[in-house]
A = this chain, B = another copy of it.
Amino acid sequence: MDTDSLALRFLIVDDDETFSRVLSRAIKRRGYETAVAGSAEQALEMLQTFTPDLATLDLKMDGASGITLIPRLKALNPDIRILILTGYASISTAVEAIKLGATDYLAKPADTDQILAKLNATEPDPDIEIADKPMSVGRLEWEHIQKVLTEHDGNISATARALGMHRRTLQRKLQKRPVREEH
């Protein structure tokens, strides 16, 4: 369908390729036009030919932080809605982001529904409002652990340290739930 002129343009800036791909597909399926950038620099290039109406930005990437994009995006489109989405969330960066004009701020992991819910907060679309249940604490923890574990190349000791959790406990958690996905 070429509703090009009508479809809202959605920019995803994240260096986690898997994450970007999954999110991009989920968002396209809902009728948005999407663009994905793997770094702030790459995003800046894209902005010369792509003016987004919505955007999700990661903070921790190679090169510049997504936060630096906020002023550029606002300058290009004052009505843009920006969601900061990061696995390295902190109160201080959240405060900065909002002050700079971000619409909202979420810590990863977050599912697509939550992401869109935050971005649509002001949109006249009272249709798909209250269907979402938050992730259970259990699943949230699981995804977080997997992510950090991957970042440490499967090193359990290092992961436990990074997570401020005891190695023994991590071990037990990993035993109980062999890697499986569901929904």
- Determine whether the beta carbon of B134 is less than 8 Å from that of A144: yes
Is A140 among interface residues, defined by CB-CB distance under 8 A?
Answer: yes
Bits for A88-125, please: 1 = Cβ < 8 Å to B, else 0.
11111111101110001111000000000000000011
- Determine whether the beta carbon of A164 is less than 8 Å from that of B137: yes
Among listed A4-12, A17-25, A45-53, A66-74, interface-contacting one: A66-74
Q: Which residues of B contact A70 (CB under 8 A)?
A: 126
- Determine whether the beta carbon of B181 is less than 8 Å from that of A163: no
Q: Provided the pairs A60-B130, A134-B163 are in contact, do residues A100 and B88 lie with their beta carbons within 8 angstroms? A: no
A65–B128 Cα distance when bound, in Å, is: 9
A114–B145 Cα distance when bound, in Å, is: 14
- The residue among A59, A92, A105 with the most chain B CB atoms within 10 A of its own CB is A92
**Interface set of A (CB-CB < 8 Å, partner B):** 59-60, 65, 67-68, 70-71, 87-96, 98-100, 104-107, 124-128, 130-141, 143-145, 147-148, 151, 162-165, 179, 181-182
Other than the known A137-B164, A164-B182, what 11 A-B pairs have Cβ atoms closer than 8 Å?
A: A59-B130, A65-B130, A68-B126, A90-B130, A92-B128, A95-B98, A98-B99, A106-B147, A107-B140, A137-B141, A138-B164
